[in-house]
Amino acid sequence: MRLFIAIKLDDSMIEALSDYMDDMRAAGVRGNFTKPENIHITLAFIGEYGNPQEILDVMEETDFRAFDINLNRTGDFGELFWAGIAENPELTNYVKRLRKALADAGIPFDRKKFSPHITLVRRPIYKNWHPDKAPKGHMTVDRISLMKSERGKNGMIYTELGSIEENML
């Protein structure tokens, strides 16, 4: 099964990002917009892996304390337009600890440099649109989720397999 570890966003963040995407559509931007129920921040992409409990065990054993995040910019990775998270040492340090724990446990993951972002549009087409402002949003991250990704008839379906909450080790 295809797995990843993520931050699921709260309703106010999802609403802020959905409103921003609605504004993009109204301005003529086209592309494959992320469905509100799929909006998240990927912390570690595992890919195909048959034992989700092993991953949940590693997550449980990795020191995690709640922290705040703020939206503050937009950008693109070629064919992917995203909203970005303000620099956040707590988030960065948690991801380092998590990825080290995954590596120590022999669980494979995509080792690309962590760049906290939220995918808004894949393959965007925007001729005369230029983002003049970033979406605004703030939330406290108090939970980390293990997610399963499956292709459905109408796009990707993400299902939470388990989660951890603050576990000050």
30 vs 153, residue with greater confidence? 30
Q: What is the pLDDT of residue 66?
A: 95
The reported pTM is: 0.91
Q: What is the pLDDT of residues 49-86, one digit of tens each?
A: 999 999 999 999 999 999 999 999 999 888 999 999 99
Q: State the pLDDT confidence band at 129, using cuts at 50, 70 and 90.
A: confident
**Residue by residue, what is the 3-state secondary structure of the chain?**
CEEEEEEECCHHHHHHHHHHHHHHHHCCCEEEECCHHHCEEEEEEEEECCCHHHHHHHHHHCCCCCEEEEEEEEEECCCEEEEEECCCHHHHHHHHHHHHHHHHCCCCCCCCCCCCEEEEEEEEECCCCCCCCCCCCEEEECEEEEEEEEEECCEEEEEEEEEEECCCC
Domains recognised in the chain with CATH numbers: 2-165 (3.90.1140.10)
Q: What is the pLDDT of residues 20-57, one digit of tens each?
A: 999 999 999 999 999 999 999 999 999 999 999 999 99
Is pLDDT of 114 > 60? yes
